[in-house]
Homo-oligomer: A and B are copies of this chain.
Amino acid sequence: MTRPGHRVPDGYDTSAYPSFAVTVDIVILTMRGGHLHVLLVQRGGEPYAGMWALPGGFKRPDETLDQAARRELREETGLVAPKHLAQFGAYGDPGRDPRTNVVTVAYLAVTPDPGSLHAGTDAAAARFWPVVDAVRELSLAFDHHRILSDAVDRAAEQLEQTDLATAFVGDTFALSELQSVYEELWQAEIDPANFRRSLTSPPPSTAAPGAYVEPTGKRAKASPRGGRPPELFRAGGAWRTQPPVRRPRTPRDQDRRTGGDIPE
């Protein structure tokens, strides 16, 4: 990167390289009532005034991208400790912002349901939307529709590869809560007995560090509609060696893209 005066493309002025604004945008996902939700803010000014958009803002020269993401998260939503926050893509199509050249770096944040949004937030202009609605019915500002879709795809992939599922639930949780995270993101049903076995039995022989979930000895309250109160678990240390649940591969799953193959 970044070497003016080194093997210069023909006819391209090296002394004056083009200038961009750089922003970070954050896709904040959580589970509410068994369904995946995303936090959106309503835009005040032009362009796209009044439309819903992902929270985000300009990167400053003296901070890293991660710091910018964390700062914007706090400033726009009051959230200070998402359980997961990681970059997942950069977007720089010409004209994606009508005013100027903007490249944005998109982040995926995952948190247990925070209930209401914290201080420092204009609550009227920020709310969680069911992801299904946001994707299908809402017209989002800029290229945020695509960014949101990419984020959800990424989250679904990461469920299978990391401990991302545990970022959706609290420090202690019932297995059925965790299961609903997988079922919602994968749009697939999982047998509760097999799910429990996968999570509670020790990770494949070779791995050392603990289990996937550890019993706390406590139980949650029974649901308002009755039913046995579930045991509460804590996330264990075994996720890094080998995540416990594999995604069902259905035949019609063909259209899921994994990453950039060459389209020509």
- Show the binding face of A for B, using Cβ within 8 Å: 1-7, 9, 17-25, 41, 43-46, 48, 53-54, 56-66, 71, 75-76, 81-87, 89-94, 96-97, 99, 101-105, 122, 125, 141-142, 144, 157-158, 161-163, 204, 206-209, 240-242, 249-251, 253-254, 256, 258-262, 264
Q: Could you tell me the distance in whole angstroms from the C-beta of A27 to the nearest C-beta in chain B?
A: 11
CB-based contact B206/A158 at 8 Å: no
CB-based contact A7/B76 at 8 Å: yes
Q: Could you tell me the distance in whole angstroms from the C-beta of A237 to the nearest C-beta in chain B?
A: 9
CB-based contact B18/A103 at 8 Å: no
Q: Could you tell me the distance in whole angstroms from the C-beta of A15 to the nearest C-beta in chain B?
A: 12
Residues of B within 8 A of A41 (CB): 7
Q: List 24 A-B contacts (CB under 8 A).
A: A1-B23, A1-B97, A2-B99, A2-B102, A3-B43, A3-B53, A6-B44, A7-B57, A7-B76, A9-B71, A18-B60, A20-B61, A20-B103, A61-B101, A64-B94, A65-B92, A86-B259, A86-B261, A87-B260, A162-B258, A207-B249, A208-B251, A240-B254, A242-B249
CB-based contact B89/A87 at 8 Å: yes
Given known A-B contacts A84-B261, A142-B1, A207-B249, A19 and B19 have beta carbons under 8 A apart: yes
Interface of chain A, helix or strand or loop or mixed?
loop
CB-based contact A44/B209 at 8 Å: no
CB-based contact A19/B21 at 8 Å: yes
CA distance A63 to B57 in the complex (A): 23
CA distance A241 to B163 in the complex (A): 23
Q: Could you tell me the distance in whole angstroms from the C-beta of A223 to the nearest C-beta in chain B?
A: 30
Residue of B nearest to A253 (CB): B241
CB-based contact A59/B92 at 8 Å: yes
CB-based contact A56/B204 at 8 Å: no
The residue among A23, A83, A240, A260 with the most chain B CB atoms within 10 A of its own CB is: A260
Residues of B within 8 A of A256 (CB): 240
Residues of B within 8 A of A25 (CB): 1
Given known A-B contacts A41-B7, A44-B5, A54-B1, A59 and B20 have beta carbons under 8 A apart: yes
Residues of B within 8 A of A58 (CB): 2, 4, 17-18
Residue of B nearest to A257 (CB): B240
Q: Could you tell me the distance in whole angstroms from the C-beta of A219 to the nearest C-beta in chain B?
A: 28
Add 18 more A-B contacts to A6-B44, A7-B125, A92-B105 (CB < 8 A).
A1-B104, A1-B142, A1-B144, A2-B97, A2-B104, A2-B142, A3-B45, A7-B41, A9-B71, A22-B22, A84-B261, A87-B260, A90-B90, A103-B105, A157-B161, A162-B258, A163-B261, A207-B251
